Amino acid sequence: MYTVADVNQLRGVLAIEPTSFKQVYLASNGDYVLSGDLVVPLNTTLVFGAGVRFAASASSRLTVGGSIVADLTAYIFQIYGANGAILTVNLASQQPREISVAWWGAGRAVVSDADAISEALRSVGGRRAVTVVFPGGTYLLDRPVPLLEGRTYDGRSATLAPSAEFSGESLLVATNEHQRGVLRITGFRVIGRPADLVLLQLGATDADAVTVEVEGCWFSGARMAISGRSSVAASIRRCVIEDMEVPFEFTVGSGAVRAAGVSVRDGRDKTRRALFTLTEVDSEVALMDCQMDTGLTLVVQGGRVNVRGCDLGPCRIEAAGGKVTVVDSVIHGEEGPLRGPALSVVDAREVRVQGSLILGSGVESAAVEIQWSTQEEGRASLVDCRVSVPAVESVSSIQHEAILCVDTTGLFSNHLLLQDVVIDAPFSYALRLIGGVATCQRCLFRTDAILLVEQELPFAQFVYLRQVHWEPSPSASPRYARFRAADGSPLRLIISQEGVVVPESHNRFDLVGGARLEDVYTFGWRTIEASTDDPLTPGRAPGLEGDVYRPHPRIPEGDLGDSKPSTEWIRVRSGDGLTGADDARTESEPPWKPFCPPEVVSS
């Protein structure tokens, strides 16, 4: 090994004709000041002693063809010298595989470290198999810093933060947009100031795909988002995002975002939510073992979303296209003054929640809200789930519900399925149905009523109950069902029940709001007692003015058909309530013919 103490000695050693690999130790004796270019041969390694730094008295270029050995926290290249001199460093070989931005003085600036970081990245040119290290410390940026795809940027607990003079929309920008590669960002603490600050802005082209990996990072006040290029695959692991001005947000086009072990927290007003927007049929979002107490919004225009093992705040799913699956997760309702549903599903084409716990917040809203206004063939399923609502007793009667389903399309092609669901909601309806089709299969309801059926538009209602067990509160005044129609409108209803366990003392329903049951088709409903809130007519239903139809005896009980129209119906006169008295039956064709309830196949 050669030892030198200044630039002249170094030039002399480098001039020796190399016969083999050699190392040159740069001893500490002040700065190595260059007044002209210097080239270090390919077979030479520079070993930096403590306190050694290259500088320039006139603009110079240092080209290192060999390798460098230096402490990752050392300051070894001074970019700016006296009289405007600039030192340019080129690391021309494949070594070292790991460089440090601190070598160019990053982490020491009062105003901005952007120049030092940019010079460090420029020094390795287009070389991709390199790790850029940011030693622990704070790095201030007054503008976005360009990154090259195909590299790893290792934060090692370093903090990235915008300076007071920051100008731009993102801290980091990916360059070389026509190249493919993996861009890895690990171990950073990112502090944001502007409300629209983004971590990474990708190139605008879609010509080539890029994979972004973010791991072990902590974000505060900065939007954890990757934007700009639709053909991106992003992986976010073991990150914490909190105190956001703008939510954790991704727009996913022809690509995928996968998050595992990510915690999104907001200790302030709880009004912001993590947002994923899927725009293409091949878009994909996968969330696993994530905690998002801010809540989650999924806007699915295409593609698929899989959520597994997550702990979520209020979850809103707008899934007119694509498929959403939530498995083995916990979803909490809104708390505080802005209470809302734990799970809200809007115009779902295919949404399935399985093996999950849904915790409602109180009486202001349902724990689960399903709404269709434009979707024509939607399906929302809760399978093997538990829905729980706090026991908030109302003053006079049952006034709230665990699950609300609203379908204003009038198309009967949207379907809510509850299968193997337990609902714990004292002083509540298990299900409130406003239009549409609902099936409850193998469910347990610990509620004070099973159904609240309301009619706002002149459409029929469809309710199918199979193997439903009802356990009303012993201290309540339960109702099996309540039917309500605005302004005394006729209520057309198809009710099918099979294997429903109802306490005998609670086997009745109410007609409220002037509702009139008209042309009610029933399957397996033989002993329901119709009543009103009018004490003068106990056990009777003055509002029952239409006809009640049951399947003709030629149709076996429990055979619910194959979704084909039935013409085999008989009429039960309204005078017998719904007691099923045989002497009240007459053969009659109904004025309109419903579809028999479809078979529900367990998924």
Q: What is the pLDDT of residues 49-75, one digit of tens each?
A: 999 999 999 999 999 988 999 999 999
Amino acid identity of residue 452, one-letter, is L
Question: How is residue 531 written in tokens?
Answer: 């009543």
pLDDT tops 90 at residue 336:
no
In angstroms, the CA 223 to CA 418 distance is 37
Residue 243 has pLDDT above 90, yes or no: no
In the block, tokens 């320039």 appear at 56
Measured distance CA(33)–CA(53) in Å, rounded: 8
Q: What angle do CA 43, 44, 46 make, to 5 degrees?
A: 155
Contact 424, 388 (CB under 8 A): yes
By three-state DSSP, how is residue 10 classified?
helix
Report d(CA 54, CA 40) in Å as an integer. 13
- Tell me: the pLDDT tens digits for 459-473? 667 888 888 888 887
**Which residues on neighbouring strands pair with residue 154, listed in sequence order?**
133, 186
User: How is residue 556 annotated by DSSP?
Assistant: -
Question: What does the pLDDT look like over 301-314, one tens digit per residue?
Answer: 888 999 999 999 89
Q: Does residue 386 carry a pLDDT above 90? A: yes
Instruction: Map out the domains of the chain as residue ranges.
Output: 1-96
**Closest residue by Cα to residue 348 from 383, 324, 382:** 324
Give which of 278, 284, 294, 196 is closest to 240, Cα–Cα: 294
Reported pTM: 0.79
More confident residue, 252 or 204: 252
Residues 6+ apart with CB under 8 A from 505: none
Q: Which of 103-107, 124-128, 211-215 has the highest mean pLDDT?
A: 103-107
Does residue 247 have a pLDDT over 60?
no
pLDDT of the residue at 120: 92
Order of strands, sheet of 67-69, starting from the edge strand that comes earlier in the sequence: 2-4, 22-26, 44-48, 67-69
pLDDT of residue 416: 92
Q: Is the peptide bond before 556 cis (omega within 30 degrees of 0)?
A: no
pLDDT for the residue numbered 337? 47
